[in-house]
Amino acid sequence: MNVKDLLPIIQGSFLVWRRNATVFSRHFTVNIVPPFLEPLLYLGAIGFGIGMFVNDVLGMPFVVFIAPGIFAGSVMFASFYECAYGTYVRMYYQKTFDAILATPLTLREVIIGEILWGATRGLLSACVFYLVLVFLGLVPVLNGLICLPLAFLAGITFSAIAACFSAITPSIDALSYPSTLYVSPMFLFSGTFFPISVLPEAVQIGAFALLPLAHLVALARSLMTGLPDPIWALNLLWLIAAAIIATTVAIKLFERRLIV
């Protein structure tokens, strides 16, 4: 593929992204409240509540320790649910894909646009949560800012994985399987609420091999708390590689489902 062929793909993907952004902006006030509230609930209940009974973790207050974890988790939930349920609703119930495929755009552009939009939802959650953390004085302003592009990158990975599930699910109800069997354990075992190092070594390796959240938490915690992350380059590369692979697989799976 040469550069000339790449331009319509970029344009097309952007147009799909923009369609979703337009729809989102119509309900902006409704859409922006949950990403504000949810992390505050976690931070309040777990950080300050349970934190009362927990001593410092790795030399920092519990609430400071888990803030990057909840930050990363909010990115995961926003991106994953957008491209699992949101994408499926647009494909199956609203037939939005059919409508777009009757224009010059191709399915590949639709899927890339969907994934970029899912990542944008993750980024929006990250921005909102970042503001809350800065307001509470739990995170340094500049270092927290660097976490935002990382949130977008990880958002692509979460969205692309979700899109793979959306492409193969027989029904919307079946999407609760990846939610319960993959996303929920990922939220718990990615170093979100306790250091990943307390887990058995095999589980640690499994977490870093399979869970994108583990990589985002490690990077965000290092930036937000100053805790050294000796494998930050590996974390970053893993997220980039997973984003590319999962996006490619998602496109193939949707093509198998829809181009018949």
In the complex, the residues that contact another protein under the rule CB under 8 A are 8, 11, 15, 18-19, 22-23, 26-27, 94-96, 98-106, 259-260
> Closer CB to another protein, residue 15 or residue 40?
15
Distance CA 150, CA 192 (A): 16
Q: Cβ(111)–Cβ(163) under 8 Å?
A: yes
Give kind and range of the element (H or E) at residue 67.
Answer: helix 62-81
Nearest C-alpha neighbor of 87 from the set 157, 12, 159? 159
Shortest Cβ 174–another protein spacing (Å): 22
Least spacing, CB of residue 116 vs another protein, in Å: 16
Nearer to another protein, 56 or 98 (CB): 98
Cβ proximity to another protein, 19 vs 215, nearer residue: 19
- Cα separation, 183 vs 186, whole angstroms: 5
Q: How far apart are CA 144 and CA 137, in angstroms?
A: 11
DSSP classification of residue 227: -
Structure tokens, 75 = 């990115």
Residue 118 or 144 with smaller CB distance to another protein = 118
Supply the minimum distance, in Å, between the C-beta of residue 102 and another protein: 4
Helix (H, G, I), strand (E, B) or coil at 61: coil
Nearer to another protein among residue 23 and residue 231 (C-beta): 23
- Say which amino acid occupies 45: A
How many residues would you count in the chain?
260
Closest approach of another protein to the CB of residue 36, in Å: 21
CB of 113 to another protein, least distance (A): 11
